[in-house]
Structure 1
């Protein structure tokens, strides 16, 4: 069985301690991964620090990122199969993630050539007529990129790409369950000619490596996607160092009475069950106007029953297993709790090992876990409303605020929702799950701090430096 090492200072390092990478469909060990300890983490930070002593010019950053994007395209099927095996993601969705990863690297490459500052009108201040001033963007230094299991490739590209584009070096800690794609990505950057030390891969559990990563004061910036609990802890431990945190959601959608109930019902079901519901902006809560409620529910149930589950490597599969059986059991328990408390199960609810049926619930209460917590499973709830303000209040009744979707033909309703809903992004006439890789992406409240999207991430990962000239 193949054993994969850590990538530090441009070299692959095998360690005595290893952890298995499990095929999420067969539950068989697909590979063995080296696990980092204190020595390896220190070596990785040393390498990242040393790399910055020989800065890469912006055009060189562009070249490396462009070549990495091209190499990823060449290795797209290899990467897609790795994603399918380690995540349980249907192969057609895995191929889609690879395409998005390529775009994210291309966007990052272009951003490397667009590092600009601005002129400061200093002469407008009293006594400063002989002075001019301007700003420039400079790298923050070492970026620690910590990625989750659900989109292990594209979210890594969203952290590593902008960090390199901005001139930073990177310490990369992927989710243990999905580290094979991380190895392949580092191999791609190695082939692309990235100088040694600019990208360093350390693997292992977050509980083991988390304290080591935040304890090293040489790390300047943390980009983290994961749970709110871990994000809060990281933020606390980072102290005055900067962070970008994308922490999840229980994303809501409003379907107003003038929307098409069949089309929106089908679309919400699609967004709820993509990647087995393991998407930060997965459709979890849907508030539907009473006038079209029954038609919407019927369309959603029909779409749910048509979902094809099975082997993720099969082209016909639409729903694969969840990341592990423990998480599937948790989601099943939340469903059972809701039903016991009066919720109505329209479809689904049954679990087989790590597979959970596409599930739709109605007659739910705001304090049920399936409503107020992030379920991260192929489950969503449908709640009727009569007044749009009532729906907006319900959407905002959450500790989260990542994105929300609004379906309506009314410009007034669309504008009201855009202004009043408390989230990082309001998507009109599409679901909360909509995302393209060039848009600013991030939330408010416990959904996090900062924005992803290469142009916006580069701003986060650079400092604005002021230069004043006195003539």
Structure 2
């Protein structure tokens, strides 16, 4: 069985304690994972700070070349990397290959961004008494970035932290999710091969509860970037003080389907958005509001399409949906469904369980205050709700503390623009599901769904300081 180590200052380090990593689908033991101590994290941060002193002086060309080499190496190892995802996260191979493709694109965007970090000239003579001055701005790296990442996209969401950080000359201490350390650790070797200086990337594995205070509050940490639950994100925000922070938190993404929509054309897309990676996606389609005139037809088609999905081994190319990340999550969502049923909700299909899996589940006759509706489920479950007017549908989508992505299908331009203006979300997706994301678009929620933006260009702004320089031309 594999035994992992910490990656500190370009060296693999063993730890006294380890934790057992098991496969979500089979329960088999995959690895003994190194368990970092607070002292390990402190050394990693100090090493990253020391490495920053040299790395910040590298040229944009040099940093871009490192990232381009990462892209080339990952292209050569796509199948191997997707198999890591299948084993440690139960991500079906087809979805895993898709994540690797997106990760490659993310690092490529970062490489390109490294060469386009610009400032602007300031017209100093526009102010009275400053005609003999020139002024300009530039973006400068911050220093050590603490990155805490989740299990659901363990390659691509790591890339959204590492790519922009390295593009501008920051160094990173990465703490990956406890269930998906292998995908993060393999990147240490890839970055080393690509020429990243030792110490620029530090990887510490272990309990977030034990290590997060040090990762967030150490005086040498200048930026925290976290993707995970809202409860944890709130605690980090309280502790971070004046340091910069980006929080990518949860959602219960809503979609409006207007009567002008050709249902047959969107059905497979909607089902995929609801149940991809067993619904364990921040922008997984959780609530579908369908106009009453097409509600019955939509429900019939959606249920039929859902029943086509294959639940099984993530290493089988025919599998659409595999295990949830651990049995505890299966037990949780079963309890939520049972609670909703007791309150009058009806299972249209699904809700069949093993210890590790939940079949794709469609719920109807739900109420807005049910957990399966108003709280992020992070599970293969979607609710279909009828509405009568667009105003009602928009109000239903907005009736939540969350707001990451929202979507609407309509062929009426004025309705699309109305929804774009009135939906309370970080992104409004028109004529597609709210699960849509490309890795160069701004990504981040409103309300309790986050703080700050990702997407390479926008993350670069979050990972730099704006410095102003002015020069007097005469004494």
Kept in 2: contact 1:264–1:296 (CA 8 A): no
Q: Is the 8 A contact 1:247 1:447 kept in 2?
A: yes
Q: CA deviation at 1:266?
A: 3.1
SS at match of 2:465: strand
Q: Report SS of the residue matched to 1:291.
A: coil
State which drifts further: 312-321 or 12-21: 12-21
Query: Any idea what SS the aligned residue of 1:352 has?
Result: coil
What does residue 438 of structure 2 align with? 436
Give 3-state SS (helix, strand or coil) of 2:335's partner. Answer: helix
8 Å contact kept, 2:149–2:158: yes
Structure 1 range deviating more: 82-91 or 207-216: 207-216
Shift of residue 374, structure 1, vs aligned partner:
0.3
Residues 42-191 of structure 1: pairs in structure 2 closer than 5 A: 42-54=42-54, 55=56, 56-191=58-193
Residue 21 of structure 1 contacts residue 180 of structure 1 at CA under 8 Å; is this kept in 2? no
Partners in 2 of 1:180 and 1:448 — Cα distance? 27
1:7 aligns with 2:7: yes
TM-score, normalization by structure 1: 0.99
CA contact (8 A) 2:146 2:216 kept: no
1:255 and 1:264 in contact (8 A); partners too = no
- Does the aligned pair in 2 maintain the 1:149–1:178 contact within 8 Å? yes
Whether contact under 8 Å (1:228, 1:247) holds in the other structure is yes
Q: How does 1:411-422 map to 2 (within 5 A)?
A: 411-422=413-424
Deviations 1:398-429, CA, capped at 9 Å, x for gaps: 00000001000000000000000000000000
SS in 2 for 1:295: helix
Separation of aligned partners in 2, 1:67 and 1:351: 44
C-alpha distance in 2 between matches for 1:100 and 1:338: 36
Structure 2 unaligned runs (5+)? Answer: none
The answer on 1:452 being equivalent to 2:446 is no
Within the candidate set 339, 342, 345, 1:340 is matched to 342
User: Distance between the aligned counterparts of 2:375 and 2:353, measured in 1?
Assistant: 20
**Residue 30 (structure 1) aligns with:** 30
Structure 1 gaps of 5+ residues are none
**Does structure 2 retain, via aligned residues, the 8 Å contact 1:262–1:295?**
no
Q: Give matches, 1:253-272, under 5 Å.
A: 253-272=255-274
Q: Deviations over 1:284-338 (max 9, x none)?
A: 0000001110110011101111101111001101001000010011011111111
Q: 1:311 aligns with which of 310, 313, 317?
A: 313
SS of structure 2 residue aligned to 1:223: strand
Hey, which bits of structure 1, 4+ residues long, moved more than 6 A?
Answer: none
Distance between the aligned counterparts of 2:296 and 2:367, measured in 1? 19
Does the Cα contact within 8 Å between 2:176 and 2:205 map onto a contact in 1?
yes
Compute the displacement of 1:270 (Å).
1.3
How far the C-alpha of 1:281 sits from its partner, in A, is 0.2
Q: Once the 2 structures are TM-superposed, how far is the Cα of residue 33 of structure 1 from its aligned partner?
A: 1.3
Offset, 1:32:
1.4
Q: Which stretch of the first structure deviates more once superposed, 54-63 or 146-155? A: 54-63
Shift of 1:261: 2.4
Aligned to 2:356: 354
Match of 1:282 in 2: 284
Match of 1:324 in 2: 326
Q: Which moved more, 1:297-306 or 1:21-30?
A: 21-30
Aligned match of 1:40: 40
* CA offsets 1:324-372 (integer angstroms, 9 cap, x no match): 0100110111111111100111001111111001000111100000000
Using the alignment, how far apart are the partners of 2:206 and 2:246 within structure 1? 21
Q: What is the deviation of 1:53?
A: 1.3
Give the number of aligned pairs: 471
